[in-house]
Amino acid sequence: MDELLEEYLEKNRVNCILHRHEAVFTVAESSKNEEIRNIPGLHCKTLFLKDDKGRVYLVGLPAHKRLDIKKLEKHLEVKKLRFGSAEELKEKTNLAPGSVSIFGAVYSAQVMLIIEKEVWDAEIVGFHPNVNTETLEIRHDDLERYYNSLNNRKEILEL
């Protein structure tokens, strides 16, 4: 976990358990990794999206759930959502592909954070802490504390 995120979580009293593991770039890779499979809680992924007006989003979902992009476009009242490029990801969140995380929101108040309701309702979730060689195990109360600490636009949605 990078220093900025670690300091942010400490400052906002967001407790979590750090699990180190081999680098994984996809949900498929993480599903094959026994170390990761043994981490408690709902395993999650984060998508980095950009709309037709240039706004960017981090969308936290259960690892194996497919995003209904049309439903999200309709909810956000945008014509077209697409995956952001590696360059846009780096510029907007200071992250690299394979390390996208809801915790990337600490790098930019311009990013809207969307957390899928199933993730929000889970007792424990696991997300990368902005690097793909670690997973943070985080209880709901601490996820809520993190969410509420952000100045970003944010929303809990059933996707």
User: Tens digits of per-residue pLDDT, 33-45?
Assistant: 888 889 999 999 9
For 73-122, write each residue's pLDDT tens digit.
999 999 999 999 999 999 999 899 889 999 999 999 999 999 999 999 99
**pLDDT of 30 higher than 90:** no
Question: Rounded distance, CA 49 to CA 40, Å?
Answer: 28
Which structural domain range is residue 14 located in? 3-157
Strands (E), 9-55: 17-20, 42-51
Please tell me the total number of residues recorded for the chain in this structure.
159
Give the pLDDT of residue 25: 85
Which of 101, 121, 119 is CA-nearest to residue 111?
101
- Compute the half-sphere exposure of residue 14: CA atoms within 13 Å on the CB side of its CA: 24
Number of domains in the chain: 1
Categorize the per-residue pLDDT at 26 as very low, low, confident or very high, splitting at 50, 70 and 90: confident
- For residue 94, give the CATH number of its domain: 3.90.960.10
Could you tell me which of 119, 111, 116, 105 has the C-alpha nearest to residue 51?
111
Q: Would you say 106 and 150 are in contact if contact means Cβ atoms under 8 Å apart?
A: yes
Residue-level pLDDT at 98: 87
E strands, 17-123, in order: 17-20, 42-51, 56-62, 81-83, 111-116
pLDDT of residue 36: 87
